[in-house]
Structure 1
Amino acid sequence: MDAQGRGRADNVDPADQWVLNPQTGDYELRLSPSSGQSAVPGPRRSAPRGGRREQRDVPPQRRRREPQEPASGPGRRRSKPKKKSTAKKVLLWTTGGLSFVVLLTAVGGYLYYNHLNGNITVTDTPEAKNSFSKDEAFNILVIGTDKRTGKGNEGYGDKGSVGHADTNILLHVSKDRTNATALSIPRDLIVDVPDCTVDGKVIPGTSQVRFNTSLGQDGRDAGCTMKTVKAVTGITPDHFMMADFNAVKSLTSAVGGVKVCVGKDVDDPDSHLKLTKGEHNLAGEQALAFLRTRHSFGNQGDLDRIKVQQQFLGSLARKMSSSDTLKSPTKLTSLAEAATKALTVDQGIGSLTKLKDVALEIKKVPPKNLSFVTTPVVDNPTEKVHATVVVNETAAPAVFNAIKNDVSLTETKKKKKAAQAAKLKGSKSAASAVRVDIYNGSERPGAAQATLTWLQNSEGVTKSTQLGNKPTQAKTSLEYSPDQADQARRLADIMGLPASAMKEGKSETNDQGLPAIVLILGKDFKGAGTPIDGASAKAPDVDKQTADKTVCAQ
């Protein structure tokens, strides 16, 4: 959209109207007082199937403060000036037919906000959550398709592809934001694709096929790929982000390129990648060629290509954590346009505000604790000429369980872990002295009553009461006041609760008017008498890369 379309005069660069607000330290888009209010669309929806009406997500209008208006006044708290500019930003991890990519934005004006919001394409799927929680661990499936639409993409991917799941990375971000794991899933992994629903129609599953057919084949959408990931790994993706080849080219150009290292000269006639040994800054067509090449590194297979992609992503993470790109209003505008146009996402994160929330949570993870790992696999034993792989049933379960139980593959804050473990140490009251109110926040009907019966009849916790349902939560929690710590430790010992479930805070008054600790059963509840000990999962010994290390592709 040009400047005129945004309600400004012709020949005005949008970046020139980004002004640093000294009160907040943020860049804001300042429009002239005479600017008109042009109509701007909400997020784009995928082409409706079955006559569904397009939905839009447009925020309420906010009053724009003119430069001469004071930043504070009666009833308004004055913001404390910041020492350095920290422009509002969104770091979007996505893939462009092959890898994560990139970041974005800073938005200050209502019109421009809506313009960016309208760039985003949203696909509704029953497999995704309808909202994003900033207080829980989360899993985002990043999908890069091999669709060849767009100028210059004729030489990549399968000719006539409907857009298969060419690159797949399940990004798990820990609840405490100290670590994240990016799990690559090979496109040539043999799986059973389950039945899935697209626009109310059930698409039958297929057995013993490549993972990449979980998208595009027979009309399958990203929700079908999410469901396949869950079937293969046992891990439930909460949301998805999807992009094609064009995303890599536009976003790497907008960010000013990504630095890569190659351990030898490269001349790949298939991807047209030509590089001399050493470091290079790649953007646009070169970046796409680097990520697509599979004949230049390792054994020239897809698994070695995945390693190269992970190295690229680590370099990108380092650049975005240290770059001054976000201090430039002009670059911010370019990044905002490129990134929002590149993405297709689910309804739960289908707006600029929601994507910003996702990005800011990811940004909290230190690069040294962002691990890249590939699903452990072995050659398909049914093939004489090995072209596909299957899950390594010996090594893979430990990786999957670590992610499911929010266990980091890197060393994180030892002091915090020690403090949590200390909650389980100390004196324990007798079981008969434990006074607890039990709530069901799991997905199992009758869980609270079953736990009550077991505690009273089998464990001697006679002062227990079940009080019905609470909103569903991922993990079981036990909240208590400081003077009830001995009761909490006893109940945790009986139930096999991990230290992370213990929450020192306040108790509640039970139906007899007496203080009681509060037990809320979560989705990790397996049944009365079965330990709920996610802490027993340990970080597996697995080949991985971390985002803080520079690795040269060989």
Structure 2
Amino acid sequence: MDAQSRGRAENIDPADQWVLNPNTGEYELRLTPSTPQSAVPRPRRSAPRGANGAARDRTATPQAPGRGVPPQRRRRGAPEEPPPGRRGRRPVQKKSKAKKALLWTGGTMAFVLVAAAGAGYLYIKHLNDNITSVSDDGASTGGFSKGKAINILLIGTDKRTGKGNDKYGDKNSVGHADTTILLHVSKDRSNATALSIPRDLITDIPDCPTTQADGSQKVIAGTSNVRFNTSLGQDDRTPSCVARTVTELTGIKPDNFMVADFNAVKTLTTAVGGVDVCLGKDINDPDSHLNLKKGMQHIQGETALAFVRTRHAVGFGGDLSRITLQQQFLSALMRKLKSNDTLTDPTKMIKIAEAGTKALTVDSNLDSIGKLKDLGLELGKLNPKNLTFTTVPVIDNPAEKVHATVVLKPGATQPVFDAIKNDVSFTAVKAQKKKEAAAVAARLKGTKSAASAVRVRVLNGGAEPGSAQAELEYLQNQAGVLKSENAGNAGVQLSRTTLEYAPDQADQARRLAAILGLSGSALKPGKSVTNSQGLPAITLTLGKDFPGAGDSFTAATKAPDVDKTTADKVECAK
């Protein structure tokens, strides 16, 4: 409910009319500064109390019920009655006329929704009516869960809907997946990773079962070797198809997804009062309409949109350069939402709640303020310094003479996907269980036998065909592990390589782990086995993570070394 809907004001921001009453602790609707209003009706009927706790006299002279409206006459000595139609009646709710698209970061909702929760039932219902949802078509896990890691897919579209957005060119765009971020929040909420997926990445889009506008079902056929951004909009694909494509690409199935268009950036930055970003040089980009000087700049609205859209004026002038700007923007937005001048300002928080819910399009498993509040409370536990921004490792498409697209960087992407899938932090957070981590690390400590004393059977348990023989030749010819043999296929498929050994063979296992670069988690204490000669041996089973003969394994408890930033630091665009 706002002033316009009641005919009481013309140019008043609705958020400015909800005022916290310090005596009651409730939010009250103040239609004009000069006319105090009754508090939002509440279910309880006990007599109102004064500041000292005593019951107030109901026969006291009433306040004027509204501008230009005289108080009602009443019988002498009779208790005062509220104006007709006001007792117990909830304010009329207006349906949102412009249900736009999403927030640019799941972390934003943590603060938006917690603030909204304090505005009372009626206001929560109003916010609930702002939200737009679309079917997840079975592409998600069915929704995030408390006590488990969370994966939220954030999709920014290039659809030009909304006032003034058609001036940015391609005004008839169907809305492709222009900006896509997979936000992973750890199980213990100590850290998070925001993984950007380049829009020009060449990938495969799977078949997408899709709910149509009329409620009917249609399977949109998949395509191979196409740009990632065509997973949305192209051939009537919906956000659920983006979720399926991300799962196909990374092996990570999103719990929920959110979608945003240009208006989300403009309205949210205006609601928070702008954010601070940094430029390493002057920028005047006629394509994005960004014109800013070098150094720290305060941006909001149209300027904020221009900032996240510009690409020709920064870096190499491509989409990968723009991704760094978007990550800087999200970091700045997180810091602003976390700041005291935002969290302690009820009026500002209500504005953020209004802007956030109107900017939201969410999947059907996240379609209410209650669900969003629960998600927000989980995300609110995160410290921005432990939120890492990084990008899927890619290289220029070697099939193109003029580089316009990118492909996955061989050998570099799977460790990134595995780290997220296995809830490994990209930040230096002491979040691992100390006792468990110490026990794993202890496996590598102690005496090591000579390489010539290591007796090992090498099996292939998921690596490329021929890997066991190739590794055997490396061990014998270059590593000095002469007592080694190829034991064939393991009969099982392992995602990670393992090294099994008996307690009295620990010194051999430590030597082989040092040679191969295996982590303590790869070492598996167990029973002794015999080799083809009947002699006791340890067992090396090569998994899908096998990097190649002679190459060192990536430690499973350490995130890969990638280009990254964290949300608590200001990075200047260059």
TM-score, normalised via structure 2 length: 0.64
- How many Å separate the matches in 1 of 2:356 and 2:49? 33
Partner amino acid, structure 1, of 2:436 = Q
Report how far residue 367 of structure 1 moved.
1.4
Partner of 2:82: none
Partner of 1:29: 27
- How many Å separate the matches in 2 of 1:184 and 1:287? 19
Partner of 1:549: 569
- Helix, strand or coil for the counterpart of 1:309? helix
* Equivalent of 2:153 in 141, 154, 161: 141
Contact 2:102-2:361 at 8 Å conserved across structures: no
Partner of 1:231: 248
- Helix, strand or coil for the counterpart of 1:106? helix
Report how far residue 3 of structure 1 moved.
3.6
Question: Identity across aligned pairs (percent)?
Answer: 56
Partner of 2:377: 360
Q: Which runs of 5+ in 2 are unaligned?
A: 30-36, 54-100, 212-216, 443-491, 493-500, 502-523, 528-553
Partner amino acid, structure 2, of 1:388 = T
Classify 1:425/1:216 alpha carbon distance in 2 versus 1 (closer, same or farther; 3 Å).
Answer: closer
Question: Are 1:411 and 2:428 matched, yes or no?
Answer: yes
Partner amino acid, structure 2, of 1:552 = C
Classify 1:71/1:372 alpha carbon distance in 2 versus 1 (closer, same or farther; 3 Å).
Answer: farther
Contact 1:98-1:309 at 8 Å conserved across structures: no
- How many Å separate the matches in 1 of 2:39 and 2:282? 58
- Helix, strand or coil for the counterpart of 1:349? coil
Partner of 1:316: 333
* Equivalent of 1:150 in 158, 162, 170: 162
Question: Are 1:68 and 2:80 matched, yes or no?
Answer: no
Partner of 1:121: 132
Contact 1:178-1:412 at 8 Å conserved across structures: yes
- How many Å separate the matches in 2 of 1:256 and 1:66? 40
Contact 2:277-2:299 at 8 Å conserved across structures: yes
- Helix, strand or coil for the counterpart of 2:161? coil
Report how far residue 545 of structure 1 moved.
0.6
Report how far residue 96 of structure 1 moved.
6.2
Partner amino acid, structure 1, of 2:422 = N
Report how far residue 423 of structure 1 moved.
6.4
Greater alpha carbon shift after TM alignment, 315-324 vs 294-303: 315-324
- How many Å separate the matches in 1 of 2:169 and 2:182? 22
Partner of 1:538: 558
Question: Are 1:2 and 2:14 matched, yes or no?
Answer: no
Partner amino acid, structure 1, of 2:27 = L
- How many Å separate the matches in 2 of 1:119 and 1:346? 14
Classify 1:276/1:425 alpha carbon distance in 2 versus 1 (closer, same or farther; 3 Å).
Answer: closer
Question: Are 1:420 and 2:401 matched, yes or no?
Answer: no
Question: What is the correspondence of 1:83-94 to structure 2 with a 5 Å cutoff?
Answer: none
Partner of 1:454: none
Contact 1:373-1:545 at 8 Å conserved across structures: yes
Superposed CA deviations along residues 224-282 of structure 1, whole A, max 9, x for unmatched, are 00000011111111110111001100110000101011011111111111111111110
- How many Å separate the matches in 2 of 1:380 and 1:71? 74
Report how far residue 35 of structure 1 moved.
6.4
Superposed CA deviations along residues 151-204 of structure 1, whole A, max 9, x for unmatched, are 111132633111110000000000011100000000000111000111121110
- How many Å separate the matches in 1 of 2:330 and 2:232? 23
Report how far residue 71 of structure 1 moved.
13
Contact 1:99-1:291 at 8 Å conserved across structures: no
Question: What is the correspondence of 1:377-416 to structure 2 with a 5 Å cutoff?
Answer: 377-413=394-430, 416=432
Contact 2:103-2:356 at 8 Å conserved across structures: no
- How many Å separate the matches in 2 of 1:373 and 1:64? 55
Greater alpha carbon shift after TM alignment, 332-341 vs 121-130: 121-130
Partner amino acid, structure 1, of 2:325 = V
Classify 1:117/1:424 alpha carbon distance in 2 versus 1 (closer, same or farther; 3 Å).
Answer: same
- Helix, strand or coil for the counterpart of 1:348? coil
Partner of 2:97: none
Higher-Rg structure is 2
Contact 1:143-1:241 at 8 Å conserved across structures: yes
Classify 1:260/1:35 alpha carbon distance in 2 versus 1 (closer, same or farther; 3 Å).
Answer: closer
- How many Å separate the matches in 2 of 1:110 and 1:314? 32
Partner of 1:376: 393
- How many Å separate the matches in 2 of 1:34 and 1:292? 44
Partner amino acid, structure 1, of 2:408 = V
- How many Å separate the matches in 2 of 1:552 and 1:101? 22
Superposed CA deviations along residues 435-491 of structure 1, whole A, max 9, x for unmatched, are xxxxxxxxxxxxxxx9xxxxxxxx9xxxxxxxxxxxxxxxxxxxxxxxxxxxxxxxx
- Helix, strand or coil for the counterpart of 1:383? coil
Superposed CA deviations along residues 350-388 of structure 1, whole A, max 9, x for unmatched, are 111211221221121211111000000011111111100
Question: What is the correspondence of 1:292-303 to structure 2 with a 5 Å cutoff?
Answer: 292-303=309-320
Report how far residue 19 of structure 1 moved.
2.2
- How many Å separate the matches in 2 of 1:66 and 1:158? 62
Contact 1:99-1:313 at 8 Å conserved across structures: no
- How many Å separate the matches in 1 of 2:285 and 2:106? 19
Contact 1:165-1:211 at 8 Å conserved across structures: yes
- How many Å separate the matches in 2 of 1:256 and 1:14? 14
Question: Are 1:192 and 2:200 matched, yes or no?
Answer: no
| Number of equivalent positions | 406
Report how far residue 127 of structure 1 moved.
1.2
Greater alpha carbon shift after TM alignment, 310-319 vs 263-272: 310-319
Alpha-carbon RMSD across the aligned residues, in angstroms, is: 3.5
Contact 1:146-1:163 at 8 Å conserved across structures: yes
Classify 1:33/1:172 alpha carbon distance in 2 versus 1 (closer, same or farther; 3 Å).
Answer: same
Report how far residue 327 of structure 1 moved.
1.7
